Structure 1
Amino acid sequence: MKKKLLLSSIVIIMALFMFTGCIPGDGAATITKPAGFFSGIWHGWLAPISLIIGILDKNIRVYEAVNTGWWYDFGFYIAIISGFGGLSLCRKKKKDK
């Protein structure tokens, strides 16, 4: 049981370090190459992590300021609404027994 907990902790910490390199405001988006639709989706998924890191580092934002406009917004909001599979267009009904 301890091995499983240790392994899970290591995987979570590694994932957090990996995600912090992809948060909005990291300097990857420039005027010549602004953040687009897929960046919006990625930044929407990382918004909770970006919010926490943004409290500690004033240079990090939840939303990328240098973006393509409507398409970035669309991707960002789709990710915020759906999360990782949270958007369910059809729900399973409980069967009465």
Structure 2
Amino acid sequence: MSAPMQRSRAIAATALALLVSACASQIGAGVSQADAAPGFLWGLWHGFIFPWSFIGSLFSPDIAVYAVPNTGGWYDFGFFLGITVLGGGSFFGSKSRKRD
């Protein structure tokens, strides 16, 4: 593939990512400053148990995979870490593993 073609694809992908991310928003009612609102540690836990919560949510409307309202950014960061790091997201997605 030629360099101009690769560059135009990169620009198109960046433009698409910006367009899609512009649609993201959080409802003010979804963020709480109360002491009892789920924070970073609850987000970490909810991210870790996400696969099981998702399966359960398919069969029961009482099970949710994401707590609302929560503390906002810190809950989201914990949720992300729980899914990717604790859940093995990047490890299990790798194509090759080193064997000793």
TM-score category, normalised to shorter length: 0.5 to 0.7
Corresponding residue to 2:49 among 29, 46, 51 = 46
Q: Structure 2: which 5+ runs fail to align?
A: 1-31, 92-96
Deviation at 1:61, TM superposition (A): 1.0
Moved over 2 A (4+): 83-88, 92-95
Question: Which of the numbers 34, 39, 43 marks the counterpart of 1:36?
Answer: 39
More helix by share: 2
Provide closer, same or farther for how the CA distance between residues 49 and 93 of structure 1 changes in structure 2, counting only shifts above 3 A: closer
Matches within 5 A, 1:19-34: 32=34, 33-34=36-37
Question: Offset of 1:83 from its aligned partner?
Answer: 2.5
| Percent identity between the two aligned chains | 40
Q: What count of residue pairs does the alignment treat as equivalent?
A: 64
TM-score normalised by structure 2 residue count: 0.52
TM-score, normalised on structure 1? 0.54
What is the RMSD computed on CA atoms of the aligned residues?
2.8
